[in-house]
Structure 1
Amino acid sequence: MFEAAELGRKISREDFDAMAPGLRTELLALQQQLREADFPVVVLFAGVDGAGKNETVNLLNEWMDPRWIVTRAYGPSSDEERERPEYWRYWRDLPPKGKVGLFMSSWYHHPLIDRVTDKISGPELDERLERIVHFEKTLADEGALILKFWMHLSQKAQKKRLKSLEKDELTAWQVTKQDWQHWEMYDKFVAAAERMIMHTSKGHAPWQIVEGADPRYRSAVVLQTLKEAITKHFAARDAVKKVNAEIKGKKSDQPGALASQPSILSSLDMTQDIEGAEYNQALQEQRARLAHLYHAAKEKGVSTALVFEGWDAAGKGGTIRRLTNALNARDYQVIPIAAPTEEERAQHYLWRFWRHIARAGRVTVFDRSWYGRVLVERVEGFCTEEAWRRAYGEIVDFEKQLTDHGIVMCKFWLHITAEEQLARFNARGEIEYKKWKLTDEDWRNREQWGAYEQAVNDMVERTSTTDAPWTLVEANSKNFARVKVMRTVADALEAALGKPGKKKKD
């Protein structure tokens, strides 16, 4: 695979200097056009030590406007990062739409090193590479342009390059003992890299192997590839928008048809209730139990993520308040999810949820969540049908990363009947301190009851998994709902604490 990158190709200084002004002008123009685009550009640099990754990244920042470039390089994970799923730090650093992100020692680094040092087997490497494929496809499906450059040197050329760097006082610091150790394992690196590139070079995120011996040649290849890729991506995005507009124009909404379909919600016994002294006793028991289990989870570094979805006026807020009453305010955070902000709209829809994943031992409560993509965005037409259908798999993958890390996840749909909702709406309008809760949007959403019910049915059917199941809560009785939610969370913590915690590798 790498033989074509060991041919000793060069570009003369005269040829490079003649090409540079025009290419630089074109890149700057594209960057200005990109600022108004609906996609980010993600550029990864990996390869042989000394093959020019740092120099190329520096050149890109020099030639283009660095204000619209995000540059990230990764070392060993910090304590803060180890307490979260592996991909948390990469999601955190993704460039927003309109910017270019340059990544070194990124999500490919640890799998490659672990394979070369025999910490993992070939099949284990493939499993981790498949995680990368899913990650990159999730970004690409939302519009991101992904480019990956493997900067290559032959073993002989690498030795020459490292010695040259060591001789210069200004660059000697770049060469470490680890670089020479890697050089001695050159054949193992090449074999692992070949397997990695073959597994992860996809149409949505291709690898480009760049011969790195001549700095002008490698610079020309990277710069020209970047220019052509951005230009083509603009054209591809325009074509996608045109097709989506045509599909949307031909499609007719049929909420009535959806309303006639039976759903999982219709099977719930909505008469269940608990009152008076029995309720107070049950609430106190579950609160005490939850407090004990939450403290035990904190000591073991076990985090909890709670997701609350449900109809307007179903009692999510009141249930959350009773639940958090059992916790220490220092250790939990309630995240209310509304329409995305300007900053959030500039990112992948999952980005704003990744950023709220808590450190070990904390509790995060999402008052509405990432399921907005397959609920409100689906029903109201805020995203394409292709996007919300694709989201089921993206969400299951997201939640699996959390639960694989050892996070306890509980997801609740608080269900009330249409008649109960109407009664609560009317009651809100008569109580001064609750009037603010009732909006025109609540009444409008009520008209789409059938469409939402079918969306909920599909959501539960496609995203309720063993490690992240949905709990459907019969919430016509607020008392019954609160006790059921607290008992479910306590049961989940109890089950998790009975199992050995999963440790994440650095």
Structure 2
Amino acid sequence: MFEAAELGRKVSREEFDALAPDLRTELLDLQQQLRGADFPVVIVFAGVDGAGKNETVNLLNEWMDPRWIVTRAYGPPSDEERERPEYWRFWRDLPPKGKIGMFLSSWYHHPFVSHAMGETSPAEMDEDLARIVRFEKTLADEGALILKFWMHLSEKAQKKRLKKLEEDPLTKWQVSETDWKHFKLYDKFVGAAERLIMKTSKGHAQWHIVEGADPRYRYSVVLSTVRDAIVRHLETRAVARKVAAEMKEVPAKKAKPAALGGQPSILSSLDMTSSISGDDYNRVLQECRGRLSTLHRQAKQQGVSTVLVFEGWDAAGKGGTIRRLTNALNARDYQVIPIAAPTEEERAQHYLWRFWRHLARSGRVTIFDRSWYGRVLVERVEGFCSEEAWRRAYGEITDFEDQLVRAGTVLCKFWLHITPEEQLARFNQRGEIEYKKWKLTDEDWRNREKWGDYEAAVNDMVEKTSTSMAPWTLVEANDKPFARVKVLTTVCDALEAALKGKKS
């Protein structure tokens, strides 16, 4: 695989000086075009120690406008980063649309080094790499241009390069004991690199292997590849926008009702007469609050995070249920995230970005009032995204939730269900009570007219995203007290199970 990168290719100073002015001008011009583009550029640099990754990143920042470039290099996770899922810090740093992000020691570093050092098996490495492929595919499917450069040196060239850096007082700091330790395991690192590239070089995110011995050759290859890729992607996205615009002019087919072929839907199987008496409610509610308070304090001590997702019909009682739940918690330990239409900053990112950024440190509770499921509910029904996008989102969402749970997060998802008749009664009540009038909007009435479309979307959502690791809890919410008790009991049971699992 690396034979072609060990040919000792060079570019003379005269050749480089001749091509540099035009290449730099083209890159700057493309960067200005990117500022109005509907996609970000993600550039990953990896490879052999001493192969010129840092120098190449520096040159790109020098030749282009660094105000529109995000440069990130990662070391061992900080305390703040260790208390969140592994990919939190990568999602946090992704460039918005119109900008370029350059990443050193990125999501590839740990799987690569761990395997080369013999700390992980091939199967474990493959599992890590499969997660990377899904991550990059998620970004690419939303339009991101992903470029990956593997900077390679032969064993002889690497030794020469490290020694040269050590001999210069100005660059000596760049060589560490770890670099020499890795050099002694050169063959193992090359084997791990071959496996990494083979498993993760995909059509949407291909690896470019670059010989790193001669800096001018390295710069020429990387910068011209970046230029050509951006040009192609700008053209591809322009065509895609044109096709999308033409498709919008074609009348969309009406969504079918939720119950297909005479079969009952998931929601229609719920017993909507479920209720609890007033005396029992007051007693059980206090018991649940006391239990939740105790369990959360234990979870905080053990660093167990909790994420609660509330979805449901308008007027289903999400807000009231959340208030009963947070009443049992310390205000310092939870955050309620109300999700509305994305802001301008959020629209410039992948739709999952705003949810990743809100994940709290270990021991805290994050409550989402509406969530990432908007992609397969309101965005699907209202046509805010393409059918391809919302169908793809089921897999993206389950992968996101899988990462949360594998990181030790307790994840509970609730759909609060009411009947159309109960919703109408609550709407009318809201219109009569002064302090509740603000809750009732024209949008609520419009959504009600699309009840069948939304019910079909909810049934698909539950069917496709209720997994063993992150199941949905469907809550019969015609009776508000019953719904509140069911939610609190479910959260308590989930925390209790997680704490027992941590002890065993």
AA matched with 2:117: T
AA matched with 2:97: K
* 1:501 Cα deviation from its structure 2 partner: 7.0
| Residue 355 (structure 2) aligned to one of 353, 363, 375 | 353
For residues 71 and 154 of structure 2, the distance between their equivalents in structure 1, rounded to whole angstroms, comes to: 27
The match for 2:403 is 401
For residues 398 and 467 of structure 2, the distance between their equivalents in structure 1, rounded to whole angstroms, comes to: 8
Contact 2:258 2:265 in 1 (8 A): no
The match for 1:243 is 243
* 1:263 Cα deviation from its structure 2 partner: 1.9
The match for 2:17 is 17
* 1:435 Cα deviation from its structure 2 partner: 0.7
AA matched with 1:168: D
For residues 273 and 176 of structure 1, the distance between their equivalents in structure 2, rounded to whole angstroms, comes to: 67
The match for 2:393 is 391
Contact 1:50 1:161 in 2 (8 A): yes
Identity %: 76
The match for 1:101 is 101
For residues 110 and 81 of structure 1, the distance between their equivalents in structure 2, rounded to whole angstroms, comes to: 14
| Residue 434 (structure 2) aligned to one of 432, 435, 441 | 432
Contact 1:116 1:189 in 2 (8 A): yes
For residues 11 and 251 of structure 1, the distance between their equivalents in structure 2, rounded to whole angstroms, comes to: 56
The match for 1:294 is 296
For residues 310 and 500 of structure 2, the distance between their equivalents in structure 1, rounded to whole angstroms, comes to: 25
Contact 1:413 1:473 in 2 (8 A): yes
The DSSP-based 3-state class of the residue aligned with 2:294 is helix
Q: Deviations over 1:400-424 (max 9, x none)?
A: 0000111011000001111111111
1:274-313 alignment to 2 at 5 Å?
274-313=276-315
* 1:250 Cα deviation from its structure 2 partner: 2.3
For residues 248 and 392 of structure 2, the distance between their equivalents in structure 1, rounded to whole angstroms, comes to: 17
Contact 2:259 2:265 in 1 (8 A): no
* 1:73 Cα deviation from its structure 2 partner: 0.1
For residues 138 and 48 of structure 1, the distance between their equivalents in structure 2, rounded to whole angstroms, comes to: 27
AA matched with 1:225: T
Q: Deviations over 1:47-71 (max 9, x none)?
A: 1111100000000000000000000
* 1:21 Cα deviation from its structure 2 partner: 0.6
Structure 1 residue 148 corresponds to structure 2 residue 162: no
AA matched with 1:92: R
Contact 2:258 2:459 in 1 (8 A): no
Contact 1:12 1:216 in 2 (8 A): yes
User: For residues 501 and 106 of structure 1, do their structure 2 counterparts lie closer, same or farther at Cα, with a shift above 3 Å needed?
Assistant: farther
State which drifts further: 89-98 or 268-277. 268-277
The match for 1:454 is 456
* 1:259 Cα deviation from its structure 2 partner: 5.4
Contact 1:410 1:471 in 2 (8 A): yes
The DSSP-based 3-state class of the residue aligned with 1:412 is strand
Structure 1 spans left out of the alignment, 5+ residues: none
Q: Deviations over 1:334-372 (max 9, x none)?
A: 000000001100000000000111111111100000000
Contact 1:259 1:449 in 2 (8 A): no
For residues 208 and 259 of structure 1, the distance between their equivalents in structure 2, rounded to whole angstroms, comes to: 47
The DSSP-based 3-state class of the residue aligned with 1:498 is helix
1:116-195 alignment to 2 at 5 Å?
116-195=116-195
The DSSP-based 3-state class of the residue aligned with 2:501 is coil
The match for 2:214 is 214
The match for 2:493 is 491
The match for 2:44 is 44
For residues 135 and 358 of structure 1, the distance between their equivalents in structure 2, rounded to whole angstroms, comes to: 21
For residues 395 and 169 of structure 2, the distance between their equivalents in structure 1, rounded to whole angstroms, comes to: 52
Structure 2 spans left out of the alignment, 5+ residues: none
For residues 272 and 114 of structure 1, the distance between their equivalents in structure 2, rounded to whole angstroms, comes to: 53
The match for 1:442 is 444
The match for 1:314 is 316
* 1:500 Cα deviation from its structure 2 partner: 2.4
For residues 484 and 422 of structure 2, the distance between their equivalents in structure 1, rounded to whole angstroms, comes to: 17
Task: Calculate the aligned-residue CA RMSD, in Å.
Answer: 1.1
* 1:253 Cα deviation from its structure 2 partner: 3.8
* 1:116 Cα deviation from its structure 2 partner: 1.1
Instruction: Give structure 1 regions of 4+ aligned residues with deviation exceeding 3 angstroms.
Output: 259-262
For residues 279 and 399 of structure 1, the distance between their equivalents in structure 2, rounded to whole angstroms, comes to: 32
For residues 146 and 162 of structure 1, the distance between their equivalents in structure 2, rounded to whole angstroms, comes to: 29
Contact 2:151 2:210 in 1 (8 A): yes
For residues 47 and 459 of structure 2, the distance between their equivalents in structure 1, rounded to whole angstroms, comes to: 47
For residues 254 and 241 of structure 2, the distance between their equivalents in structure 1, rounded to whole angstroms, comes to: 23
* 1:258 Cα deviation from its structure 2 partner: 2.4
Contact 1:150 1:210 in 2 (8 A): yes
AA matched with 1:202: K
State which drifts further: 145-154 or 230-239. 230-239
User: For residues 410 and 260 of structure 1, do their structure 2 counterparts lie closer, same or farther at Cα, with a shift above 3 Å needed?
Assistant: closer
AA matched with 1:258: P
State which drifts further: 453-462 or 166-175. 166-175
* 1:252 Cα deviation from its structure 2 partner: 2.2
* 1:295 Cα deviation from its structure 2 partner: 1.1
User: For residues 117 and 259 of structure 1, do their structure 2 counterparts lie closer, same or farther at Cα, with a shift above 3 Å needed?
Assistant: closer
